[in-house]
Structure 1
């Protein structure tokens, strides 16, 4: 048998590295031997007849070869091969414990309808299929990495046999496309292309449990013809999508409808003309807290909220809902809404479930495209989590959301964006960037993942470092002025996440450094392992004063607002910057404006226009203040080099 490879720019034949034998596979033999992960993949390939290169590339796209024990992904998949166990997901067993509600830490039970929706996607139930083929117990397929790899190989081999076998490596695109669980040909082909792109470029890394795995580069293109043999639904649509063609995004428009008797009763987003009128400065990363299917049903409800995109975990499929020119209702802060695009990722912030590589990759491709189109900087001050969005006023701060939570791998995400979080200091500075090693960063104590007060799993990588109230691990976590300093998984208060920046004010100890954080003195343990030297500028309150902190950058003068428009109340938050403290300047060119959008179809009422950008003369700066972004008025601070 032969496969495609590049030679002098031409596709030529190379041997397939594993060939299905005529004999029935001995799955017991697949389980016996070395547990070294590279060796296990090779043994599973020999047993199943699946080329080792294909098996490695599929696994990398699902899990990056990581083993997560009994922990599922956000779509109910297990182990290096992401074998999906939908019955567990549907019955609310360990595959998806009820998450805490986003925002205030209250319990958000999943309804029977939501559980039912979780298995309506046409996703293949690969874990039970693997059990049927191999006889390996379901519990082993879930929790044991060796059994999981053997099971995944069995499923791929079964899929390829059903598709008519394979004469070339590219023919395995059929099994790979089906393995994605996609119900349409476009999404299956996109997944196959991602897998074969990984195979073509090669990969090598150490897994989260210490195994070194390498996939040698072997340039082979996915076969559209092979995926076409699966007989999946035609993905073609006449609806325009704002998305790179390679992602095959689906159009599922969010409704813009009047929902009541008055022109102010409508949903679930606002019309706009961005970036011609009003800029797009942020891309907000959310998680859904329910299934993909449940999420896209919600965004098609005119009485609910609206966001721009939803991403599915199992295969990275993307649904496009709202044009970028229009303003979604997704961030809980109108200023941020009017300057952002919102992406909802299938997942749960609280329960320690992991996000698939397929979703990370398609999300990063989409965000890179949007950032280039709208001029959004690829940094953590502008590619932000929902947890970084401040309340618009003091009453809103405590209830703001905290997704995508501590289990979203920002370091890896920015690697995929081509903008890695790294040291960038070129001069003397006390600015440092937070960058813990996600996989190794398992020591953060948290509670409440599966129930109030219950410790979260201690073997999960996390994206943050704790800020303490004193230079001792026995000291309490630094209490945020509003949400306190508890170790609840939902409490963002004492945390600095990967990519965020901080001013170090005390380096007299090797193992503890002092930092300014949220208007207080805080301390970070083992700074050499989690802080990277950075350049930049800082803001300091003008001598003898404290600086107020804001959640918006609205115009401040009544004269800024047209006749008939009520000026916005500009309320400082509960926080201040005390005299002498310094914070990192994140953006010195913040637009001072308010987008007035109150009426359906932008109706003019009593001569007052709607859907207009109202600009002001007050200058604001965006700063790194606590876990969240914040704004200060330029008149209140002095800017200096860090």
Structure 2
């Protein structure tokens, strides 16, 4: 067992004000400094978020939850009106926003700020707004958990395993222990970073920290049913199945039976947010008249519930081609405020799950395959405007890919033909509007997205998206407007460079973004580029890779190969992903005996065309650079 380093480990000459606040709180409540810092890191990575609530109503570096207040202040946003199934061969299955929960019925894990106020005597408002007070509140909760377990306020971090597990708020043993294990991994390895308000924080490594894991048994938590889950051993999973049953006049829900990967390959993992509380999310996915996804992830502690077997096809992405070839991950976020933040606990378990899925299905860990719901293309011109925009510009893709073990680093020289978007998330705070009211500026917030202009200057208009605005109007800086947005990890072909500005090919036009060498928002990269083959002025762009008409057998209706309202012009170049034959899953009925996978001879190439991916016919383009 080890006593561990002091919370002030690091540059002793001048610790930050926040580091000193951790020191004082640890001493006041008798909590080892490394434990307090480790718990806070797993909640928020020590960020205060300017007093803004997380997606589950948590405030400050300790993520003290006051969902009652957060709900009262929360705007309600819709991410669109897409058909979640995305199959024009069947009636639309649309998703409406879930009702916000009754604050009086919120569970205890969403009201920890209230308990912290009682333990410390600090007013709730101060606990929400003052990072120092918030840290004191977190220390008080840890000390209270230790006392309730009948354990002394020991100086040894290892004696606090049970209290850390209790702090997670988890209601099952597996999740509580995974959370505590993560905290002690942070304590053993150490961490250092500059917070969102510019404060340098250091937790020195204590490789000898040895927690007493037997303490978890004293928590009296339930054992979750993990019998049918498909999860890595490093996360806590629970089986809560989505129903496959008939109802109404021949309709059924809320997914399709399949035999993946034997029937179809799995090529994508799609990141969503839930737009509902955890309890509401579970109720919805168990409703046969709703839609489905494979996994839900809880924000407070990273707990995972699986609903649909990986061999089956869930209805989640709004594009049937993508649904048939993807796994959907819903991340809890009921405040539906686009500037709300996600916990480190959820980022970590999500990344572990994605690594497991990528290994299982041989999916590359890149942004052509690990995509947001906001990167899924509309199936036809008519569906583009209704496509969803989650997880939005505040999802930290750079951090996510570091956790995936694939950090987004330069792979070419400064004059590369390809760039990968990668602004410094915490320091990059572009103006967005509409988080609370239309046209009203959102609170400043770190972002992984850059805005694209028609020329090399902030005063030039944003590029147009004729799919979103057929009337030719300019894109806006609205938080849900993806028309002029490139997101971290996405790769684009360079069209021109001029001073601190870089132009890329985007939606059939040159799109400029500020990319100074001193503070770059993109890194030079390598990639395969395609352009229209010789003799073609323009080639059509598609939102799905469906087979040619001659490939369909008798009894399977031919699906239209419908181009989107965009074209790829001669001389333009786009970063290419997979090359694949056209494919369509015909699954119109509950009776799976009529289901068929139709494959054609026509091949498609996936490209990064705008904020969303798209497809072009391989016969229409040629490779110009690898």
TM-score by length of 2: 0.91
- SS of residue paired to 1:155: helix
How many angstroms apart in 2 are the aligned matches of 1:554 and 1:110? 30
Q: 1:238 to 1:309 in 2, by over 3 A?
A: closer
1:530 maps to which of 521, 527, 532 = 521
Show structure 2 runs of 5+ residues with no match.
Answer: 8-13, 83-94, 470-474
Q: Aligned pair 1:552/2:537, yes or no?
A: no
Q: Counterpart in 2 of 1:387?
A: 374
1:488 maps to which of 473, 478, 491 = 478
Q: Aligned pair 1:182/2:161, yes or no?
A: no
Flag the structure with more relative contact order, 1 or 2, with Cα contacts below 8 A and sequence separation at least 6: 2
- SS of residue paired to 2:379: coil
Give the drift of 1:591: 4.3
Q: Aligned pair 1:580/2:559, yes or no?
A: no
- SS of residue paired to 1:397: helix
- SS of residue paired to 1:250: strand
Q: Counterpart in 2 of 1:358?
A: 345
Q: Counterpart in 2 of 1:23?
A: none
Give the drift of 1:165: 1.6
- SS of residue paired to 1:69: helix
How many angstroms apart in 2 are the aligned matches of 1:619 and 1:467? 31
How many angstroms apart in 2 are the aligned matches of 1:439 and 1:300? 37
Q: Counterpart in 1 of 2:235?
A: 247
Q: Counterpart in 2 of 1:606?
A: none
How many angstroms apart in 2 are the aligned matches of 1:174 and 1:426? 50
Alignment check: 8 A CA contact 2:422 2:489 kept:
yes
Give the drift of 1:124: 5.3
- SS of residue paired to 1:244: coil
Show structure 1 runs of 5+ residues with no match.
Answer: 5-13, 20-32, 604-608
TM-score by length of 1: 0.89
How many angstroms apart in 1 are the aligned matches of 2:264 and 2:581? 9
1:428-455 CA distance string (max 9 Å, x none): 731111100110111x121110111111
Q: Counterpart in 1 of 2:303?
A: 317
Give the drift of 1:217: 1.7
Q: 1:640 to 1:117 in 2, by over 3 A?
A: farther
Q: Aligned pair 1:44/2:25, yes or no?
A: yes
- SS of residue paired to 1:283: strand
Query: How many residues align structurally?
Result: 596
1:410 maps to which of 394, 397, 407 = 397
Q: Aligned pair 1:332/2:321, yes or no?
A: no
Alignment check: 8 A CA contact 1:69 1:144 kept:
no
Q: 1:176 to 1:238 in 2, by over 3 A?
A: closer
- SS of residue paired to 2:542: coil
How many angstroms apart in 2 are the aligned matches of 1:447 and 1:160? 44
2:609 maps to which of 619, 625, 629 = 625
Alignment check: 8 A CA contact 2:226 2:237 kept:
no
1:98 maps to which of 72, 76, 83 = 76
1:51-83 CA distance string (max 9 Å, x none): 001000000000001111220111100011101
Give the drift of 1:121: 4.2
Q: 1:289 to 1:187 in 2, by over 3 A?
A: same
Give the drift of 1:17: 6.2
Q: Is 226-235 or 115-124 further displaced after alignment?
A: 115-124
Q: Is 414-423 or 526-535 further displaced after alignment?
A: 526-535
- SS of residue paired to 1:204: strand
1:371 maps to which of 327, 337, 358 = 358
How many angstroms apart in 1 are the aligned matches of 2:542 and 2:253? 28
1:315-362 CA distance string (max 9 Å, x none): 111110001100000000000000000000012564311100000000
